[in-house]
Structure 1
Amino acid sequence: MNIFTYHLVEISFSYAVKSLFVNPLDKETPGLVHAEYMTAMKLGAPIFSPSRFLTRQMAVFAQWENEKALDDYLQKEKFGAQLNNGWHVRLAFMRQWGKTSKFKIQEHKATLELASSPVVAVTIARMKPWAIPRFLRWGRPVEKLVRDHNGTLLSMASFKFPNTISTFSIWKTEKEMTNMVHGHSKMAQPKRHANAMKERERKSFHFDFVTLRFKPISEFGSWQEKDTYIPYFELHTT
């Protein structure tokens, strides 16, 4: 069964610079469907700020034919060993909004066992260059909403030169995530996301855009000295 993974890892500055030009995850890797390799960003940080782009923190979002292909890569390949030094979560596909030509979205959809089960959301957007200033004006308030939301367990953004922007968030429950999306959460200015989506529908910021929702299967490793971002696994694993 196909699985998706989201990885966070710290690398050296020299490796980070090299990776701006050469993707370390070879597209010919056995069992790899597609991968996006990106520089991490801090949600809501000022655009022209050293804290915005976290040069040595890298995010990899990938689709694999099965878990064996993933495990083989992590155990046998040089960059796989680096990913193993970070943190990652394994994901089963649930829902899709928008379109993407890079990933293969399967017909089989996972379901949550309980209303209290966590969910993961990943967005990948290829920006229209002339739309970036307008996107930033509408997007940064949404970043702050997600970053500060009491329903998130972990939230990140990432960027790949020249025009790929992505977001990643783990939510305590699906209801808390959908309430945020539709502007019903108990946060200040709760309609920031809903208003930005209306603006996107009026005039799109992107030429390629997809939001994917996942059921988290398991997590491995640690990130920023924390090894459990999804306490659900501890509570429901026998």
Structure 2
Amino acid sequence: MASFHLVRYAGVDAMRYMAFDRPKLRAAPGLRFWRLLGTGRGRSMSLGADLRRWALFAVWDDEAGLDDFLERSTIAARWRAEAEESWHVRLVPLASRGRWGGRDPFEVLPASPRTSARHGGSGPVAVLTRASIRPARLPAFYRSIASVDRALRHEDGCLASVGVGEWPLARQATFSLWKDEAAIARFAYREGAHRGVIGRVRGEDWYSEELFARLVPYGSQGTWDGRDPLRAHSQG
């Protein structure tokens, strides 16, 4: 199983945690894959960084490993003590393709009843996209982002979205929540701006590496921009 954590601090000095937390994450029991991520200011990948908000994407051997991290880790303790706002969600992969840093983060994860129960496509779905952008394609990539960002803001099926990244400019990702798989398909294949960008990505070979994953979100806690988007959706 996997988890995503979005944390907002009071000041930009929280940047130092990007370095200090790495050794602790390397030593965390049951943590098989992780990435500390900066975030953008918009709903998609963008040139503007939010230096107060940071994210962690993690893949665990099992829920016990995540539970232990949340209960005992000094990182999670700091989130509770210092964060102005934080949101955490548990995730089970539905499908993925591609690599992240040469690895499939979800390789040989054990089967989950949550996954088999969701093949009907009803209920919220999380989408993780990640890409290493070829240096020569960076100008074209960032020129295309504004139209996709505008489309996301007006997309009823998107519950929430954030642009995240490992390196400035060249290694970018998005984490988004959708009402259901039908909403993802509408945006991916019918929304003109996004469809056009995907066509250029393939035709002009923008990425040296990419990953696309759909995941079942559950067990969310905290708030993201003042609310839990999954709980707000279920109540709506």
Same fold (TM over 0.5): yes
Aligned equivalents of 1:168, 1:147: Cα separation in 2: 14
Gaps of 5+ in 2: none
State which drifts further: 68-77 or 20-29: 20-29
Question: Which structure has greater helix proportion?
Answer: 2
| Runs of 4+, deviation exceeding 4 Å | 20-23, 44-48, 231-235
Asked if 1:119 corresponds to 2:121, the answer is: no
Q: Measure how far apart 1:234 and its partner are.
A: 6.1
Q: Which amino acid in 2 is paired with 1:147?
A: R
Give the 3 Å change call, closer, same or farther, for CA 18–126 of structure 1 in structure 2. same
Q: 1:73 aligns with which of 54, 62, 69?
A: 69
Which residue of structure 1 lines up, in the alignment, with residue 3 of structure 2?
5
Within the candidate set 132, 136, 140, 1:130 is matched to: 136
Q: Give, as a single letter, the amino acid of the residue that structure 1 aligns with 2:34.
A: A
Return the alpha-carbon distance in structure 2 between the equivalents of residues 232 and 14 of structure 1: 31
5 Å-filtered alignment, 1:6-45, equals: 6-13=4-11, 15-24=13-22, 26-43=25-42
1:221 aligned partner, one-letter code? G
Aligned-residue offset at 1:223: 2.7
Q: Percent identity?
A: 23
Give the counterpart letter for 2:203 in structure 1: R
Shift of 1:198: 1.0
Assess, with a 3 A threshold, how the Cα gap between structure 1 residues 176 and 199 changes in structure 2: closer, same or farther: same
Q: 1:226 to 1:17 in 2, by over 3 A?
A: same
Distance 1:93 1:46, change over 3 A: closer
The one-letter amino acid paired with 1:149 is: E
Question: In 2, Cα distance between the equivalents of 1:41 and 1:200?
Answer: 21
Measured on the aligned residues, the alpha-carbon RMSD in Å equals 2.6
Aligned length: 224
Counterpart of 1:43 in 2: which secondary structure? coil
Q: 1:104 aligns with which of 100, 103, 106?
A: 106
Distance 1:154 1:202, change over 3 A: same
